Structure 1
Amino acid sequence: MTPRFDAIGLVVSDMAASLAFYRRLGLDVPPEADSAPHAEAVLPGGLRLMWDTEEAVRAFDPGPAEAPGTGGTALAFRCDGPAGVDALYEELVAAGYRGHLPPWDAPWGQRYAVVLDPDGRGVDLFADAARPAG
């Protein structure tokens, strides 16, 4: 049997704060998950995004929990065009989330921005750059 990529797991310090952030990005997570030690959202195509509290992880791995924002995990959310990147970045920053890199036109042909989730993890917002009229 060949392994199949099935899920991305995030360790979070505050489940409710983390889920509120990802709900603003369009993920469907039930409200009762805010107080649970584990939560999941099924993404298009069947991939799952999972959240576990630091306490839940310590229950099976008593070693020191790595600071969630330093683990190299980043998630990317495609937006509806360059203006969508700008609008979502501004909405999240206005809601109190930390902006990391304000929207810019990346040299690889995308409008890009990075905000930080409540645990300091980078979340990329992107869209294909507008093509010049020609």
Structure 2
Amino acid sequence: MSRMIFVNLPVADLPASMAFYEALGFDNNPQFTDDTAACMVWSESIFVMLLTHDKWRTFTDRPIPPSTSSEVMLAITCDSKDEVDALNQAAAGNGGTADINPMQDMGFMYNRNLADPDGHVWEAFWMDPAAMDGAQAEW
């Protein structure tokens, strides 16, 4: 079996969160979706499980962080700067927040951060590996 990642996220409003992720280009896998959870597919190996707060609490007793905190930033690759911009625009137009952090354009890499309706932060980025040949990235 190839390696995959399933990112589990607690959400306050499952239908609104599903609509948000669909607007970003995720597909819903109905095989793993019900009234308490939805499997949203980014690629053959990246899945986001949206879990109602009640469902989330069946996995852990740890508190759900408020939407104003940053517990993790999830980075996803895009094929172009235009796709990065489109994801940010889709976030803003579908209940999320665009440019939750300052946009960065380093020439060889371009990224913009967005937040979903529950405050989960995503970094959409494009990178040109050819521009990095022999160069050390300055962070």
Q: Is 1:91 matched up with 2:81?
A: no
| Structure 1 residue 112: Cα displacement | 0.3
Percent identity between the two aligned chains = 30
Q: Higher helix proportion, which one?
A: 1
Corresponding residue SS for 2:28? coil
Matched residues, number: 126
Q: How does 1:1-134 map to 2 (within 5 A)?
A: 6-29=5-28, 36-59=35-58, 61=60, 63=61, 65-67=63-65, 69=67, 70=69, 72-99=71-98, 100-101=100-101, 103-106=103-106, 109-129=108-128
Tell me the distance in 1 between the aligned counterparts of 2:82 and 2:59. 44
Tell me the distance in 2 between the aligned counterparts of 1:60 and 1:96. 26
49-58 or 119-128: bigger deviation: 49-58
Deviations 1:56-105 (A, max 9, x none): 233465x4632264462332232221122123312322344212135330
Unpaired stretches in structure 2, ≥5 consecutive residues? 132-139
Corresponding residue SS for 1:77? strand
Is contact 1:11-1:68 (8 Å) kept? no
Instruction: Give TM-score, length-normalised by structure 2.
Output: 0.69
Do the aligned partners of residues 105 and 82 (structure 1) sit closer, same or farther apart at CA in structure 2, a change above 3 Å counting? same
Tell me the distance in 1 between the aligned counterparts of 2:16 and 2:106. 30
Corresponding residue SS for 2:101? strand
Is contact 1:15-1:34 (8 Å) kept? no
Instruction: Give TM-score, length-normalised by structure 1.
Output: 0.71
| Structure 1 residue 113: Cα displacement | 0.3
Tell me the distance in 1 between the aligned counterparts of 2:104 and 2:28. 30
Superposition misfits of 4+ residues, deviation over 6 angstroms: none
Corresponding residue SS for 1:76? strand
Is contact 1:10-1:68 (8 Å) kept? no
113-122 or 77-86: bigger deviation: 77-86
Is contact 1:86-1:103 (8 Å) kept? no
Deviations 1:32-71 (A, max 9, x none): x88610222355344432121111233465x463226446
